[in-house]
Structure formats: structure tokens, C-alpha cells
Amino acid sequence: MRQVNQVKLGEEFIKSRAHREMHDRCLWAARMRRDAVAASIPEWEEMRELASEIKLHTLSNLDFYLEQFTANAEANGIHVHWARNADEHNAIILEIFKSHGVKVVTKGKSMTMDECGMREFMAKHGIEINEADLGERIQQLDNQRPSHIVMPAIHKLRSDVADLFARKLGSDRDIDDPHYLNSVMRADMRKRYCQVDAGMSGVNFGIAETGGIVVCTNEGNADISANLPPLYVATMGLEKLIPRQSDLPLFIRLLSRSALGLDMTQYTSHYHHPRQGQEMHLIILDNGRSERLSSPDYWPVLKCIRCGACMNTCPVFRRTSGISYDAIYMGPIGIVLEPSYDLYKYARLPYSCTHCGSCGDVCPVKVPIPELVFYWRSVVVDHNDELFTHNAEETLAEPILESAGNLAKAEKVGLWALRHIPKSIAESGLNPWAEAHDDPEPPEETFRQYYNRVIKPESDKDTPKEQS
Amino acid sequence: MKVGFFVPCYIDAIHPKAAISTYELLKKLGLDVEFIERGACCALPELDMGFLKHACTLEKGIAPLVVDKGYDYVVVPSGICTDQFRSHFDGVEQTPEVVQFRKTVMDPVEFLHDVLKITELPGKPSFPHRVALHNGCHSLRYLLEARPSELMIKPFDKCADLLRLVDGLEVGYATRRDECCGFGGTYAIWDASCSGQQGRDKVSDYDRNGFKYVTSQDMSCMIHQQTVARKIGLDLKMFYITELLNGDAQP
Ligand code: SF4
């Protein structure tokens, strides 16, 4: 299988100046709005800490809360299903659709369903799924994955969208006015909404105490999917639970402020039971989550509430776009999540990080992303033999280290590590440093030389001679 | 007060002035400073690439150089290396002495600001210019030497406090004041295209704001930014913070 090379894909995006500058500017603006609204709340840092603790508590007692949630949801008339993995997830939904004769579906944004490749799976079975989120629909029309978990088409220029709509929806290629483009999409989607058989959406929060789910969107894409058709299917990752209804406001306050710098999502919809005459199904998805939960180093990753703030702030993500990660989850959370799905394919991702630490500090639930990056890099090195063709560097370093009687020799090892990215994952032996950098001016003398020339003679003078 | 002075490999090899200025400043402040001659690589590059075994071997070599030597503090003129000792350095047994070392290892900014709490600089250095302050990411977000813009806590900035002691020096910031400059250690080589772009964005930001001088408590950021600036022909001069505090910076 192919290994994803984020560096190379990112370089292509960097080279397209118009795209890079627009992308960086839009996301930095989101980060600035986030800073402004966060600063307006005196208890912001306490909220982050509390949200983190609630998540840790819930994850530590997940078996209890899952049972409580399911019992309550079923009592409310929601059909609850459990899916161990993507295949089970898709099979369950296909079964539901088949038994209801479903042909056309409208769907709100759901990372979890993307994770399962649900849309492609349904297409193979002749079921048409139309995304109701504008950005997600743009990406669907373009046959491309979302490039951001909250803003799926943020890497596209207006002119890219005008071009796409001209090809797919017959609009005027030369008009890239957002109002016009919106109206083109609206006209196309409205027709489709009238004939849907079922609706789907993801879930932001499941409330154990009530058995209800909460979906947050800015366009109402989940609402149209849940409220229009007679059949509604939602998918929830099993880490999405919170214990009580009264815990919810804290997360709602944090979510959209962190994501976009908005006080609240435009639509915060609570579904506690099917509406009259409607059938409602909820799939609870594991797909590797319980395995993550059992890892002592890695389990805090499950706190993530998928706000996207870490992407907006990441200096690498902003310049290379989510497309360059070629993955469902991208940016900081992506580089620590994706290797857990496929270590070989995503072995390079944990290296797409400067360790600036900004992601950990914006994260509303304090996912320790910087630590998890270190964790994954060490896992990648541990699996060097299986993942890569050779590990010459390791064997190269060993003798130097063993013979490092004088530790100063170890600086060679430090500089070695700086010069030698493991060849097995680097592209070429050339010195890539020279592309962006001038050579540093060589110093006249090192500190060690200065020490021997100036400091040492001085201090030898000062120390009284030992008595013989 | 006895201070061990640990000079990281890249400072020694590429920008020894950072170590010389720091050493001299500490001496002028009347401290008993001992250069740890056998110290060199702090093991960060190894850790950074995921070579935990190597990092651990290096740490085992470093431990006897810094513990039980009668040092009250160990000063390391580099934010990233200080952070390596403080926040990682767990490949060796955590004896009380090692724990004590990790608590008392500091970069010059923490040492001057928090331990010595200096209010004036020896020799009354002067640098009557506007200087952009770049708080290196590790010093900023891991050592917390200033308020990271992400955190909604009371503003503070230890570097700025110290720089204001230099006569005539006006502290300023880039518009994106604490965005990463893209060095990231091995990252600059691993992903030269994005690292280079980040560097260009950073130095252009200083240039747009009319800065001619930049300083940081992290020389690795400065080396990266200086060489990127030179590559694209920007007239910017970068200093390690103690070069300014010790009056060694030449305009
Ligand atoms: S890791 Fe934190 S900042 Fe990133 S998407 Fe998840 S909750 Fe948001």
C-alpha cells in the first residue's frame, strides 16, 4: 500500500501562492476570532480544565455511561445498534435502508460516517447520498475528501468553486460571487430534498442521563436531514458521551468559540426521541476506539470533540491544507489519530509538526497533542523494520554512542540526527536545508575554543596551587 | 551560588556568541560559574525523531555531569534544550538528584528573571533601537516564559522585562507575535518546504513592521530566521537575548 507523503503534497499547495495565502489568512482569522471571544470569558481556562476532567471521567467510566445511555435512548424509542468497525456500521445501515426501500438520502456532516467510507459503500449498493453541508457537498461534487473537519472546502478559492459548479451544475463559470454560487447550490439541493427517503447525521454529544443526542451545525444540515424524511439514522463514536444534561452547556460554550470564534453554533439541535411517525436509529461505533482507550499513553486522544481549533492554529496545516494529509482526520489531531488506523500508511504524519505546542493550548478539552506526537514518533521508530526498508541510521548511531567516552563526541550524534532524517522515510539524500536557507556564518571560534583560550587560563591563575 | 554552565552542541558549533555572552554576564553578576566541559548534545534531536533508545543513552551520559556536582543551578543558553531537560529527560532513573537537576536547570531568562530577579544590568548596556522579540515556542509554551497568545491568563513576558533593562531598547513584536517560525529542529530538514515558508512569512512580518533587529531566548529560531532572511535578501539582524543584555550586540 502507498504511504502518504504529507510533505510532498503540502509542497504542491505551498507553491500555489493564491491558495496558500487565502487558506492561511482565513484560518488565522478564525484563530484570531477564537482568541477574542475566549478572552471575553473570564473563566475560559477553568472551562477548558473542567471540560477535560469531565471527558476523562466519562472515558474512565465509559462502560457504565454507555449502558446508561443506551437504556435511556431505547426507552425513548430510539433503535440503538452497535458497530465494532466500519464494515459492521455500513452493513447495519444498509440493512435498515433495504428494509425501508430507501433510494435517496440527505446527510448532515459526520466525520464518523466518513471514517467508515459510508457514502462510497452506499453508492455501490445503488443508494444516493447527498451531503447537505455546503462545504461537504462541494467536496462531494469534486470527488475529494473534506480538507478540514469543520470547513470541508476551505482550501478552495471562489474561482475553484465557480469552475466546479459550472462543470457539475451548469452555472456561469465567470461568476464567482458567493451569493450567486449559493443560489445555484440552493436551487439544485432544494429539488433533491423533496424526494428523500431517509436522513442521516453525525452526533456531537450523547447525553447518558437522558439518552438524547445533540448535533451542532451552522447551516442546519443535520436538521434538514433529521426533520424532513420519515427515517433518521445517526452515527455516534462511542467516545462522544457526556454524563448529564447539565454538563452540556459547558461543551456548547467551548465548541463553536474554539472552532470558529462564534459564541454558539447557529443550530444546536437536541434529538431525544423520534418525532411522531418517524423511525430513528442510532449506530454506536467503536472502530478502534476501545483499543485506544486501553492504551495508557494514548487514551486522552478520545477527549477530542472535533472542533477543528487545532487545525486553524497549526502553522503547518495552514500552509499545506488538509488535502495534503490524505486522510479523514487532518492537522494536529489527524497526525496523532490516523496512525492508529493504519501505522504504515500514516507513518510519516507524526513528523509533520514543528512542536510549537499551539494545538495543545487552543484545544478546548486539553488533548495533549504535542505529547502524543512524541509518542507516535517513537512507535514509528519501534516499528522501523516492518514499516521501512532499512534502518541504517540506528545501526550507524550505536557505535558512536557506545564509544562516547568524551560526551562532547555525542554532539556528533546530535548533529547527525539533525542531518539525517531516517533515510527510509526521507525523500532524497540532498540537503533540503539549502533550498530555503543561506548557510549560517561560521563562527571564528567555538565556545570550547574560547573557553580554552580565555576562561581556562584565567581560572587556573585564580585557583591556588595544591599543596604538595 | 555555584552554577553549572551547559553549552548545547548547536550553540557551540554555530553561534557560540550566545554562550560567551551568557557566561560573561553570569560572571559579571558575581557567580561561581563552572563550564561543564563534557556536556554537549542534550538528546533532543534523538527524542524529536523518535529514537528514544538513543536519547536515553545520551541522557545516561549527561546525568553524572550535572548531578552531585554541587551546582545550585545549571544554566543552558537555549530554550529548547532546557525544555528537553525539564520536561523529558526521563530515560534515566529519576533519583532525587536527577529530579533536583530537572527542577534547577534553567535557561538564562528564567535564571536572571526568576532566581536572581535582576533589576539592573552590569555595565549599563545600551541599544537604542526597536527590537522585535521572538519568544521561541519551547520557551513560550513549554517553559511558559511569557503568556502564549492561546492561553487566557494574565499577560507577562520575562524576556521583555529583561530587555527593558537595556538602555534605549524598545521592545516590539511581529504582527503574528508568537506564531511558530518553522524551525522545529529536525523538522526544518524533514519538511524544508513548509519550514522555509514559515520562516519567510515570519521574517517578512518583521520587515513589514519596520524592524531591523530581532532577538530571542532560543538561538535555534534565530539561526533559522537569520539564514532565511539572508536567502531572500532581507536586512535583518538576529541576536541571542544575552548578547543584548551583556552589551555585546553590535547594530
Ligand atoms: S484535538 Fe482539541 S482542538 Fe483539535 S479538534 Fe479535537 S477538541 Fe478540537
Judged by a CB distance cut-off of 8 A, whether residue B122 touches chain A is no
Nine-digit cell string for B118: 535582576
Q: Which of B34, B40, B33, B32 is nearest to B16 (CA)?
A: B40
Mean pLDDT in residue range B137-159: 97
Report which ligand 1 atom has the smallest distance to the Cα of A306.
Answer: 5
More confident residue, A412 or A261: A261
Whole-number pLDDT of residue A418: 44
Backbone angles phi, psi at B34, to 5 degrees: -120, 120
Domains and CATH numbers, chain A: 41-291 (3.40.50.10420), 389-462 (no CATH)
Chain A residues closer than 8 Å to B51 by CB: 381, 394, 397, 417
Report which ligand 1 atom has the smallest distance to the Cα of A301.
Answer: 1
Mean pLDDT in residue range A257-277: 94
Chain A residues closer than 8 Å to B199 by CB: 436-437
Residues B229, B203: contact at Cβ < 8 Å? yes
**Does pLDDT of A464 surpass 50?**
yes
- The predicted-structure confidence for A151-179, as pLDDT tens digits, reads as follows 999 999 999 999 999 999 999 999 999 99
Q: Is A309 close to ligand 1, i.e. is its CB under 6 Å away?
A: yes
Whole-number pLDDT of residue A458: 78
User: Considering chain A, what is the average pLDDT of its residues?
Assistant: 88
Whole-number pLDDT of residue A433: 64
More confident residue, B210 or B52: B210
User: What's the rounded Cα separation, in Å, for the pair A46 and A52?
Assistant: 10
Whole-number pLDDT of residue B39: 77
User: What ipTM did this prediction achieve?
Assistant: 0.95
Name which residue sits closest to atom 3 of ligand 1, judged by CA. A363
Contact B46 A417 (CB under 8 A): yes
Residues B166, B130: contact at Cβ < 8 Å? no
Contact B35 A455 (CB under 8 A): yes
Contact B12 A446 (CB under 8 A): yes
Contact B150 A414 (CB under 8 A): no
User: Considering chain B, what is the average pLDDT of its residues?
Assistant: 92
Among A306, A330, A371, name the best residue to mutate to test ligand 1's pocket (greatest count of ligand atoms within 8 A of Cβ).
Answer: A306
Whole-number pLDDT of residue A422: 40
Q: Is A306 close to ligand 1, i.e. is its CB under 6 Å away?
A: yes
Chain A residues closer than 8 Å to B11 by CB: 447
Confidence category of residue B82, pLDDT binned at 50, 70, 90: very high
> Which CATH number among 3.10.310, 3.40.50, 2.40.30, 2.60.120 corresponds to the domain B130-245?
3.40.50
Judged by a CB distance cut-off of 8 A, whether residue B9 touches chain A is yes
Q: Which of A245, A347, A237, A255 is nearest to A301 (CA)?
A: A237
**Does pLDDT of B219 surpass 50?**
yes
Contact B37 A437 (CB under 8 A): no
User: What's the rounded Cα separation, in Å, for the pair A234 and A113?
Assistant: 9
Q: Is A202 close to ligand 1, i.e. is its CB under 6 Å away?
A: no
- The predicted-structure confidence for A323-354, as pLDDT tens digits, reads as follows 999 999 999 999 999 999 998 889 889 989 99
DSSP-assigned letter for residue A421: -
Residues A411, B12: contact at Cβ < 8 Å? yes
Whole-number pLDDT of residue A411: 44
Backbone angles phi, psi at B215, to 5 degrees: -140, 160
Q: Is B30 left (phi over 0), alpha (psi -120 to 50) or beta?
A: left
Judged by a CB distance cut-off of 8 A, whether residue A430 touches chain B is no
Residue % of chain B over a pLDDT of 90 = 74
Mean pLDDT in residue range B52-78: 85
SS3 of A315, please?
Answer: helix
Whole-number pLDDT of residue A421: 40
Closest partner CB to B180 (pick from A14, A356, A381): A356
Name which residue sits closest to atom 8 of ligand 1, judged by CA. A307
What's the predicted TM-score (pTM) here?
0.92
Whole-number pLDDT of residue A429: 45
CB atoms within 10 A of CB A25: 11
Confidence category of residue A428, pLDDT binned at 50, 70, 90: very low
Judged by a CB distance cut-off of 8 A, whether residue A415 touches chain B is yes
Whole-number pLDDT of residue A465: 52
- The predicted-structure confidence for A51-95, as pLDDT tens digits, reads as follows 999 999 999 999 999 999 999 999 999 999 999 999 999 999 999
Contact B46 A413 (CB under 8 A): yes
Could you tell me the residue ranges of all domains in chain B? 2-115, 130-245
Whole-number pLDDT of residue B53: 76
**Does pLDDT of A240 surpass 80?**
yes
**Does pLDDT of B237 surpass 90?**
yes
Give A269 Cα–ligand 1 centroid separation in angstroms.
21
Residues A295, A330: contact at Cβ < 8 Å? no
Whole-number pLDDT of residue B90: 85
Report which ligand 1 atom has the smallest distance to the Cα of A305.
Answer: 7
Whole-number pLDDT of residue A387: 55
Q: At what angle do helices A158-169 and A134-141 cross, to 10 degrees?
A: 60
Report which ligand 1 atom has the smallest distance to the Cα of A149.
Answer: 5
**Does pLDDT of A468 surpass 50?**
no
Name which residue sits closest to atom 2 of ligand 1, judged by CA. A363
Chain A residues closer than 8 Å to B12 by CB: 411, 446-448
For B193, the closest chain A residue by CA position comes to A11
Q: Is A96 close to ligand 1, i.e. is its CB under 6 Å away?
A: no
